[in-house]
Amino acid sequence: MIVITGATGNVGRSLTASLVSAGHAVTAVARGTSADLPNGTGIIPVTVDLTAPSAAQSLAASMAGAKALFLLVPGVGAGVDAPALMETAATAGVQRVVLLSSQAVGTRPGTAAYAPMAAIEDALTRAGLEWTILRAGGLASNAFAWGPALRARQTVFAPYGDVALPAIDPLDIAEVAAEALTGHEHVGRTYVLTGPEATTPRQRTEIIARAIQQDLAFIEVSPDDAREQMLQFMPAPVADATLAILGHPTPEEAQASPDVEKVLSRPAHSFADWAQRNAPAFR
Ligand SMILES: NC(=O)c1ccc[n+]([C@@H]2O[C@H](COP(=O)([O-])OP(=O)(O)OC[C@H]3O[C@@H](n4cnc5c(N)ncnc54)[C@H](OP(=O)(O)O)[C@@H]3O)[C@@H](O)[C@H]2O)c1
């Protein structure tokens, strides 16, 4: 049994499907309904809010007898009691935890927005369990946020139109996570997961246009306007930290990491691969 949190999201759905098709039983954790889970036998849906004070206690029964846990926390991990989760996992006999973290924990140490995720990494590496940390750069699936304006007005509105970043396909994160959960050579390692090449928002718009075979316009919005939009979904420190990466990436953030290819022995998927696979969402 492998416990997967965030099982109904971009990463978790692919990971659940991949583990189940490899013959693993999976406990799929989210707050919502199991309707968003992939089809397949061997999936036990469990409803838990990871930010609730009782989260660790609620997961204790699911973790009993599980050999591994994939820990995907909401947002940047605020409100998650990682030490309690680790203690519950260790008590339940879970041997291994694979954490989806953020590249910015490494590239922007001391930034308040990433302190909760840094604390979760800390709790994990101190727990006495086998661990692997996956520090992801920006996800290709962030482009889903462009969907409503793209479909209604055939236009993408985004800040920093000409700043390039190597967006990571959530499917690659899921495949690296599956390797880390089930293989043996990734214990005690921290991987930086990015796409194979940096693309700008303007280029990503052109790539989606090709995938859906429609003309799309790109309109650059000011960082202030983008921030106002982002504040509807995230707290101000996270919006500011995200905009800092989007507008002023460090050299490491702007560069493709070799780690997906190292783990999977194949190149990371490009943004075009992701757009092609997800074209129906933009039509
Ligand atoms: N976006 C980026 O650019 C980026 C960059 C680096 C790292 N990351 C990391 O990637 C992860 C997001 O991955 P994703 O794209 O797969 O996410 P997603 O598609 O938004 O899915 C989130 C998953 O977590 C569940 N969830 C949300 N809040 C929860 C809560 N309070 N308690 C329990 N489950 C909860 C959701 O289901 P319910 O809503 O039903 O609970 C869903 O299954 C985050 O950990 C983030 O830190 C993202």
Q: How far is the CA of 74 from the centre of ligand 1 (A)?
A: 5
Contact between 65 and 94 under an 8 Å Cβ cutoff? The reply is no
Ligand 1 binding pocket (C-beta < 6 A) is: 6-12, 30-32, 48-51, 72-76, 100, 102, 136, 138-139, 141-142, 170
Q: How far is the CA of 59 from the centre of ligand 1 (A)?
A: 17
Nearest Cα neighbor of 192 from 257, 112, 115 is 257
Write the pLDDT tens digit of every residue in 34-52: 777 877 778 999 999 999 9
Query: What whole-number distance in Å separates Cα of residue 123 and Cα of residue 114?
Result: 14
Q: Which residues lie across from 218 on neighbouring strands?
A: 156
Q: Which residue has the tokens 């921030």?
A: 227
Query: What whole-number distance in Å separates Cα of residue 185 and Cα of residue 54?
Result: 33
Which ligand 1 atom minimizes the distance to the CA of 138? Answer: 3
Nearest Cα neighbor of 103 from 242, 205, 206, 198 is 242
Query: What whole-number distance in Å separates Cα of residue 278 and Cα of residue 255?
Result: 24
Which residue among 100, 111, 193 is best mutated to probe the pocket of ligand 1, counting the most ligand atoms within 8 A of its Cβ? 100
Looking at per-residue pLDDT, the higher value among 33 and 231 belongs to 231
pTM above 0.85, yes or no: yes
Which ligand 1 atom minimizes the distance to the CA of 101? Answer: 7
Write the pLDDT tens digit of every residue in 114-144: 999 999 999 999 999 999 999 999 999 999 9
Write the pLDDT tens digit of every residue in 52-111: 999 999 999 999 999 999 999 999 999 999 999 999 999 999 999 999 999 999 999 999
Q: How far is the CA of 215 from the centre of ligand 1 (A)?
A: 31
